[in-house]
Amino acid sequence: MSATREARTPAATPRSRTVLVSFLGAVVRKMGNWMPIAGTVELLAQSGLDAASVRTAVFRLKKRGWLESEPRSGVRGYALTPAALEALAAGDEVIWHARQPAELGDGWCLVNFSVPESARARRHQLTAHLTSLGFGNIGSAVWIAPARMLASAQRAIAELDLTGQCAVFVGHYAAGQELAAMVRNGWDIEGIERRYEEFIEDHEAEADRLATAAFVDGKHAFVTYLSLVDHWRKLPFRDPGLPPEVLPEDWSGPAAVRLFERMVATLEGRALAHAAPYWPTQPGPAEAADGTR
């Protein structure tokens, strides 16, 4: 096995600060939108993050307005702010789209913009944001995605105060360039496919092992679950859940989705049960379940 492959295996120690964001979305929201800092450091240490890295990541998210200090039961901790909850919910819209491919009949959302040179930085921000939402580029300043991405596009444009420089359309393909060819030109289909294949390769054996295991240790469930979510949440940010009709017949997306959902069903409850004692007060079942992916 090469060093590159070893770096991608689920057992490898995660070092990215994105793990904390995955932790906020997958665990903290289900624990009442609040986290104890000491418990968070201990839990993420189990996933291979050192205390200094966790505290630095927390500090940066606090500066971004995602976290605010809030002690509970005499324990230092941080609450998710409305801005964090909104950002995580917006991310959910993208992250989970790959699980529900768009209907071809619903049409497409097109964004065209003309941003002056004086606002070049915001123009770059907009193209980066549209790319992260899964939009494909099919021409000079012309971006396209399934029609359901309309609200996300409008929000990105408004946040950058570029409404007056953009035109947004929703419509249906009528004629001209073949849709499948447009998709190949607008998206890195091969790159997205490769990432789905790597996800399957990285996690399939563990999924099979968990399915036949007589007992799954709580710590192992937590570490595996957080690693799984952190890996998965990065995949759909180049894939808006394109209609199957415009994708290759052997597209690996559906197989990756089935694998992910199978592992979540096995791991999520055990992972949250392992995390719960690190909170000073444990939420009841209804509160713990009150979170969206």
Among 15-19, 40-44, 267-271, where is mean pLDDT lowest?
15-19
Return the domain boundaries, the chain.
14-101+188-293, 108-171
Query: CA nearest 203: which of 264, 250, 254?
Result: 264
Question: What CA–CA distance (Å, rounded) separates 97 from 94?
Answer: 5
Sign of the alpha-carbon torsion through 120, 125, 131, 134: negative
Question: What CA–CA distance (Å, rounded) separates 217 from 76?
Answer: 28
- What is the average per-residue pLDDT within 29-58? 94
- At 45-78, the pLDDT tens digits run 999 999 999 999 999 999 999 999 999 989 999 9
Domain 14-101+188-293: CATH class, spelled out? mainly alpha
pLDDT recorded at residue 13: 35
Whether 14-101+188-293 and 108-171 share one fold: the answer is: no
Q: For domain 108-171, which architecture applies?
A: 2-Layer Sandwich (3.30)
- The model carries a pTM of 0.80
